[in-house]
Structures are given as structure tokens and as C-alpha cells.
């Protein structure tokens, strides 16, 4: 797959997406969002890809926000359309992808960059990572899900403080607050992420997809996460993966799950 602003590599049941706009600190512009949309859709459709890692090029930034030059002149209608289209194309897509997505945060994750990382299923940060939602310093608010996902991850009070001060948090604070799962030296970031991804890819991709759906349902307005879990649990019994997993367990061998 060839894209303008990202690179995509697949190996060992893993897809690696690297946002590649180093001169702009990997800022999200319209084309990058389109590229990411297409890459995630393609990797999700690939039966051999059982986990995805997303990171930024270089050592300074994962994504240092949105490309402000693209929307500085927008009016109200254009601003609302920008947020709505972005959420549909990328952020909601990532959150609900059936293939697990790990954010490897290698430096600054600000504004849309932090929102992208939060849309992923979990996050790993390098020791030099800094995270924040600075939108109010520009006279706007987070528009790609930041006001919703940040409180879910770290609690309402801390999220309010981060958003209202427009400040950045360090990797250790992000770890303590539950914003990221692990903090590692930058040189070890991708290998560490690959190690976790390797553990994921040994498990049933069908079951993982159902688990993602059930967990997400618990955070959706109007959805009953318990009912989604019950239904998904029952559906799993009709899958090839269930037969393989239980047979392997009873025969005391490692399961060999097929693709998605």
C-alpha cells in the first residue's frame, strides 16, 4: 500500500502504520486522515493481520495536533463538518475496528494526536512523550472525541483540568492516570509494542473482535453493554475459533486460529 503521508508495513500478522510528516511533526491534515482511513480499512480486511500498531515518524512526535493552517479560516458550518467527517472517517473507525489497534506514542501527542491515540484500543508511551489537548488556547475545543474519551480514561476532574488549562502531561503522569498502559525508553518503544501485539495475535481474532464490540458498548449512550456481552458470548459458540480453542485445550496443544 502506497500513501502520501503515511507508510504501512505488514509482517508476522502485524500491521505497522507510521504517520510520516516529520516537517509538520506529523500533524493531521485532511489527506493524512484519508490515508489513515484507507490504511485501517485495508488492514482490517486483511485476514492475516491480527493486530495493528500506529506510531509517528522521527523521535519528536506521534502527532503534534491537527494542521491548523487548513481550518483557521473556517466558519461555524465548516468547523462542524470538519469534526463530524473526521470522527466518522478515522476516530470512530479506529475505536470500533475489529482488529486491535495499539498506539505507540513516540513524543508529542497533542490535540488530534492525543485524540487519535485515545481512539486506539490502548496506548504505550516513550519516556519523552508529552500529551495534551491545547485546543482552548486557540479559541476552540477538542473536536475529534477528546471531550468524551479523555474523561472515560482518566476521570472527569482530571480531564476537565487538562482541557481547561491546555497543558501537557508527562508520560509518568499519563501512566499513573491510566491514559497509557506502559512507559518505556523510546529506543524500545516499537519492540515493546510488537511484543504485546505478538501475544494478541496468538489468540482468536474472532473472539477479540467480539470483545472489542462488547467493551465499547459499555461506553455508548443507549447501549446495554451486558446484553451485548451476552449476545457476543453466545455467538462465539458458533465459530470455528471456539471449536479450535476448546479442542486444543482439551487435547493439551496450542490452538491454531484461522484468520479473521
Per-residue pLDDT of the chain (260 residues; tens, 9 = 90+): 789 999 999 999 999 999 999 999 999 999 999 999 999 999 999 999 999 999 999 999 999 998 888 999 999 999 999 999 999 999 999 999 999 999 999 999 999 999 999 999 999 999 999 999 999 999 999 999 999 999 999 999 999 999 999 999 999 999 999 999 999 999 999 999 999 999 999 999 999 999 999 999 999 989 999 999 999 999 999 999 999 999 999 999 999 998 78
pLDDT of residue 167: 96
pLDDT of residue 66: 87
Specify whether the CB–CB gap between 99 and 44 falls below 8 A: yes
As annotated, the active-site residues are: 115, 135
pLDDT of residue 260: 81
pLDDT of residue 22: 93
DSSP state of 4: S
Q: What separation, in Å, do the N-terminal and C-terminal C-alpha atoms of the chain show? A: 20
For residue 213 the three cell numbers come to 464490540
pLDDT of residue 196: 98
Neighbour-count burial for 18-31, b at 16+ CB within 10 Å, e otherwise: bbbbeebbbbbbbe
pLDDT of residue 155: 98
pLDDT of residue 20: 97
Q: Which single residue is written with the C-alpha cell 484507507? A: 38
- 66's CB contacts (< 8 A; 6+ apart) are 27, 28, 29, 111, 112, 144
- Domain 6-201, CATH number (from 3.90.226.10, 2.60.40.60, 3.90.190.20, 3.40.50.2000): 3.90.226.10
Q: Where are the domains of the chain?
A: 6-201, 205-250
Amino acid at each position: 500500500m502506497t500513501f502520501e503521508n503515511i507508510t504501512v508495513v505488514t509482517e508476522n500478522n502485524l500491521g505497522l502504520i507510521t504517520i510520516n510528516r516529520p516537517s509538520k511533526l506529523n500533524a493531521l491534515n485532511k489527506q493524512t486522515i484519508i490515508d489513515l482511513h484507507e490504511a485501517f480499512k485495508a488492514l482490517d480486511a486483511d485476514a492475516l493481520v491480527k493486530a495493528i500498531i500506529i506510531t509517528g515518524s522521527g523521535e519528536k512526535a506521534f502527532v503534534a495536533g491537527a494542521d491548523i493552517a487548513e481550518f483557521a479560516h473556517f466558519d461555524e458550518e465548516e468547523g462542524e463538518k470538519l469534526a463530524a467527517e473526521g470522527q466518522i472517517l478515522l476516530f470512530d473507525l479506529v475505536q470500533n475496528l475489529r482488529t486491535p489497534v495499539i498506539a505507540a506514542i513516540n513524543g508529542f501527542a497533542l490535540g488530534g494526536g492525543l485524540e487519535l491515540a485515545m481512539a486506539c484500543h490502548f496506548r504505550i508511551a516513550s519516556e519523552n512523550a508529552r500529551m495534551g489537548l491545547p485546543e482552548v488556547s486557540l479559541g476552540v475545543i477538542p473536536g475529534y472525541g477528546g471531550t468524551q474519551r479523555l474523561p472515560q480514561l482518566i476521570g472527569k476532574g482530571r480531564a476537565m483540568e487538562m482541557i481547561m488549562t491546555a497543558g501537557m502531561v508527562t508520560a509518568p503522569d499519563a501512566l499513573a492516570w491510566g491514559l497509557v498502559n506502559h512507559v518505556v525508553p523510546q529506543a524500545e518503544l516499537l519492540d515493546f509494542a510488537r511484543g504485546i501485539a505478538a501475544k494478541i495475535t496468538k489468540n482468536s481474532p474472532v473472539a477479540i473482535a467480539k470483545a472489542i464490540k462488547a467493551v465499547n458498548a459499555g461506553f455508548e449512550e443507549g447501549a446495554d453493554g451486558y446484553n451485548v456481552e451476552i449476545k457476543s458470548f453466545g455467538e462465539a459458540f458458533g465459530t470455528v475459533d471456539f471449536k479450535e480453542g476448546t479442542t486444543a485445550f482439551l487435547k493439551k496443544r496450542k490452538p491454531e486460529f484461522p484468520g479473521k
